[in-house]
Copies of this chain bind each other. A is one copy, B any other.
Amino acid sequence: MASEVTKITSGSLIAAEKVEGTDVYNPQGDKLGSVDDIMIDKVSGKAIYAIMSFGGFLGIGEKYHPLPWSTLKYDESKGGYIVNLDKKMLENAPTYDINEEFMWTPDYGRRVDKYYNAPSYW
């Protein structure tokens, strides 16, 4: 239904449907994975977490990694996000399985924020 909308972008704005699928790199320029979804605060409209999908990169199967939005920097030249996190950090990070019936809780959010040393949303 929104297939046309995904084409819409300007220098600074991007459609949420287009963020989904945007590549994520480490500072060395290696592709880590891509953004699968964004968790948004309903009231302020602020993106709080990027839900990353790292695919095979880490060799741990298909898992979702919620990252605090503040850990992502947009890089115009790469057309993607850079995260300054090494493989070990990502391997031990809070994740959930793609096929899991997952319920986001404030406790889980606090755990994510603390792991990445990000300002807590909760």
Contact surface of A with B, Cβ cutoff 8 Å: 1-2, 4-10, 12-17, 19-20, 36-49, 51, 53, 64, 69, 72-74, 98-106, 109
Contacts and interface: CB of A to CB of B under 8 A. Distances in A.
Identical copies in the complex: 2
21 contacts: A1-B36, A1-B53, A2-B36, A2-B37, A4-B99, A5-B51, A8-B51, A12-B41, A12-B42, A13-B42, A13-B48, A13-B49, A14-B42, A15-B38, A15-B40, A15-B51, A38-B45, A42-B74, A43-B73, A46-B47, A47-B47
A105 B10 CA distance: 6
A36 to B, nearest CB: 5
Contacts of A48: 13, 45
Nearest to A43: B74
